[in-house]
Amino acid sequence: MGSVVRYCESSMRNGFGLKYIYQFLNIPFLQLQRECLLQQLQVNARDMDASLEEIDAYARSDEHNYDSFIEMLANKRRTKQEALAGDAFT
């Protein structure tokens, strides 16, 4: 499997072939851009997997239970009210 060799005719006198040269010089930039985008896609895939795992773990936890949440809020309010009532009598 050999490398592809490219050549073009160009003229500095009248600018013939200038577009070809610009496109040819653009290739290394595009290759670098592709590598960066592929790396970003890999990072994105890892982040997405991590987020999905966190969502699944949250769904299995007690924090996801609305009844438990309401009960916890009621207990906090009750404790706060009892503390305020105890301070009022002393």
Domain map of the chain by residue range?
18-89
Q: Is 90 exceeded by the pLDDT of residue 54?
A: yes
* pLDDT score of 65 more than 80: yes
Average pLDDT, the chain: 92
* pTM, rounded to two decimals: 0.61
Go through 46-63 and write b for each residue having 16 or more CB atoms within 10 A of its CB, e for each that does not.
eeeeeeeeeeeeeeeeee
**What's residue 89's pLDDT?**
65
Per-residue pLDDT, 90: 60
Q: Give me 76's structure tokens.
A: 């906090």
User: Tokens 């006198």 map to which residue?
Assistant: 13
CA end-to-end distance (rounded Å), the chain: 92
Q: Which two tokens stand for residue 9?
A: 């005719």
